[in-house]
Amino acid sequence: AKNPVRVLVTGAAGQIGYALVPMIARGAMLGPDQPVILHMLDIEPAAEALNGVKMELIDAAFPLLKGVVATTDVAEACKDVNIAVMVGGFPRKEGMERKDVMSKNVSIYKAQASALEKHAAPDCKVLVVANPANTNALILKEFAPSIPEKNITCLTRLDHNRALGQISERLNVHVSDVKNVIIWGNHSSTQYPDVNHATVTTSSGEKSVREIVIDDNWLNSEFITTVQQRGAAIIKARKLSSALSAASSACDHIRNWVLGTPKGTWVSMGVYSDGSYGIQEGLIYSFPVTCEKGEWSIVQGLKIDEFSRAKMDATAKELAEEKSLAYSCLN
């Protein structure tokens, strides 16, 4: 039997956490034959609720779940973890300035960087979900210099999956027959969902999405804004932000990273830019990646037209601004 993998979920008593931990315990993140030990962290005011989640995990009698640590102690939570999913964060409340939210979150991520550095397994893979996800991940990277930068990522897989979903609805095909959309940039409304390289499997073979959708107007405007604003649409409908889809895509992100992407398929991940596609180094930016043997690599050589270039640069510019705001909050 395989040794259990230790998976940390921060903010585990929150709504994404509540959807995410049972998925991990069922094998949706690491596969149906991989035992797990869940480490759940939350803050003191949420301690009782967190304990309730632990009770439910016990009651669900998950065969793969070999242990549960529920704690408000960061060091204990991070101890020997192999995977860290960072969902905990300060939500933006009415009347708060962007800078106030940023300031709260970057100090949280600075502190958690040190805890991960000290206590996590040396090869720990980190996924940041809490917003501003790219910038929180960047701060985590900067303040955890001993964690390899390739191990620190942020979630844009939900946006990627939303784009697949919109194409599949539009064409009335199964979502699993659509692939290779790309989310470029920031997990914010400036993200650029790009379908120029996406394909659909049809009864007469693989076709490009542009060829089948025909309506360029829809692809160049409504499709993009629908994906960019899907989070707000969910809040309007549910009176709560997206949780099950965020949790599910966090599992997708880690599963593909650890177990690999299928041949011929890429996914979107926020990763530390190496300058690919002219995106400045020093930002955590969402790129198309393939994964093999536990490592991602950015898909190279895709043709970028002028329309895409402008949108890719605009979202990079926003990330550079967020980065300076984050640093001004820390000083």
Q: How far is the CB of 252 from ligand NDP (least distance, A)?
A: 13
Q: Is 92 annotated as a binding residue?
A: yes
For residue 70, what are its two tokens?
Answer: 């529920």
Q: Is 107 in the site for ligand NDP (CB under 6 A)?
A: no
Q: Is 230 annotated as a binding residue?
A: no
Q: Is 183 in the site for ligand NDP (CB under 6 A)?
A: no
Give the list of residues 6+ apart from residue 149 with CB closer than 8 angstroms, or none.
141, 272
Report CA torsion sign: 271, 275, 278, 282.
positive
Give the list of residues 6+ apart from residue 93 with CB closer than 8 angstroms, or none.
none
Taking 3-state DSSP, the helix, strand and coil percentages for the chain, each rounded to the nearest 5, stand at: 45, 20, 35
Q: Which is nearer to ligand NDP, 35 or 132 (CB)?
A: 132
Question: In the set 231, 266, 269, 298, which binds ligand NDP (CB under 6 A)?
Answer: 231
Sheet bearing 199-202, strands edge to edge? 178-179, 199-202, 205-208
Q: Is 250 in the site for ligand NDP (CB under 6 A)?
A: no
* Only segment of 56-64, 202-210, 239-247, 303-311 that touches ligand NDP (CB under 6 A): 239-247
Question: In the set 131, 153, 180, 256, which binds ligand NDP (CB under 6 A)?
Answer: 131
Q: How many residues does the chain have?
A: 331
For residue 65, what are its two tokens?
Answer: 């779940």
* C-alpha–C-alpha distance, residues 143 and 141, integer Å: 6
Q: Is 143 in the site for ligand NDP (CB under 6 A)?
A: no
How many positions of this chain bind ligand NDP (CB under 6 A)? 27
**Which residues are known to be catalytic?**
187
Binding site for ligand NDP (CB under 6 A): 10-11, 13-17, 42-43, 46, 87-92, 108, 129-131, 133, 158, 231, 241-243, 246
